[in-house]
Structure 1
């Protein structure tokens, strides 16, 4: 069995701003046609990572390669951005306001110095622009200025501009962050489909967990300039390697757990017995997702009381607390409200959860 061809390789990359190190020993590969999301909180180094791949920031050590071509290393190699064959979609589009849509897109064809695309004849450029506008769902608007477009339309044009020179890798720097929730969800799906159809190798930088989980083939979780975990969305969500990763990726409930005297594969917690992923024989903590919690009306007296009920449409989020308020448990319940504030409730964890020894 042969390995999948690499679209992008980042190996042992370290980068700094002055004396402040921002990236530390960052290593990952992106397969051809794969979308990798780099997920992390503000200030974790994810945008700097994107800039090193694009050639906008030099690395201190390590290696960046596109396919089999090294574009940067710690020995002084630094191929300029326009020669890397990388398409960049920045936040909020960053279109040239004085150029119409067609000229914004065709700018990408001119900007590849030393390539044939800079010498493409005008009719062919026009045909390419029209084809890209059709591809991103905006046919016939080449004459329009960016100021006349909505935020979502501007992002589509920015994507078309990035795709114009047929780059080896597309880099997306939080491209949906400025959009409203409804448009953001629609555009995410459209962009994902477009990248799949063109078999584009892509890196998406985001701090939005829903975005990373919903769009990516794999996720790199970055914390403090280092990679904390790499895996599929399912792996990162269901089996985070640490409480820190689990607490960042998705909604989580963390409670004390004692597996020393429990049956194998179980731990005792303030919620009662909880099933575990794997076998453990020590004390620690478990990480529970709201959809793993079943809340029912108490059949007898219970220490848990409903303190909040929030209807979201497809589901209802019910929060219960113990008498001290130190334990707060959220449950994702299907359907309409079945609880009211003050109801007594029984709490049950219905599927195995990850355990982290103390």
Structure 2
């Protein structure tokens, strides 16, 4: 589905490009940024004309409310280049809808579609040389909104800044990942902001994740805040469990993010006659399956990695290793999804979005 609205985007091009100084074969995820960024300010009750300007620092008042009350939301998405140099995005309207859902929960004004999509497309087109061809190469895109009004009164900001920055990316691989089932900490609580992509959700994860790192785990699988009996998300990813030949994942709610990759994987699994159950996943069920040999796989899903297989997990001081499969659902589904993203396979679901 294309957006036909024509919004005049003011473009100020960078005088020089830093692209020639970038080693595209050795990219560290999320540390190198392209030449331009999109900026759109909210003032006097309305969003102003979007601008694309050279990438660089911004100036904020020390009293800007984002620093004091955490009014900030973000998204993560990617653009890909196929063998014919066409540029594609993957389900960007889902990210647009979700940033507005997140914004609404954080009392931030929603962004009009006629601003979001044209500004996004213009920026991606301007940075097309940063998108390298080849399976695994992409342009990671980070839209975000922050509260900019100066004032330390505990109330929503009257002013905001919506921005989009871009970072070239290669295949995301972190080696073997082992996770710890959380017994104490939770990502979010009922009635909270877990379903919003709010910046504070992620900042709050760093401390318990650091504790898990010290015990030899790379990430945490969060449990529900009320009982710590049910598994919900892994780090910053949605989580899937394979027991025998059934994939199981927790339902989205106000604690769990409605992941674009998550729902795409569910659809693709069903399309390939893989049984999928969306339901609560009890810790004791996974422990029992690990002990009796029916737990075949655990994997996380998200924009950065698409699918990240998990090699093992720990709970209550005991460690469990998962079998190494040659026919894993994780590898099959990741390959199938990425072929759609890179225009290497039929897109039955109309998920690809051509940037023209």
- TM range, normalised to the smaller chain? under 0.3
Could you say which structure has the larger radius of gyration? 1
Q: State the TM-score, normalized to the length of structure 2.
A: 0.26
Q: Tell me the TM-score normalized by structure 1.
A: 0.26
With a CA cutoff of 8 Å and minimum separation of 6, indicate the structure with the bigger relative contact order.
2
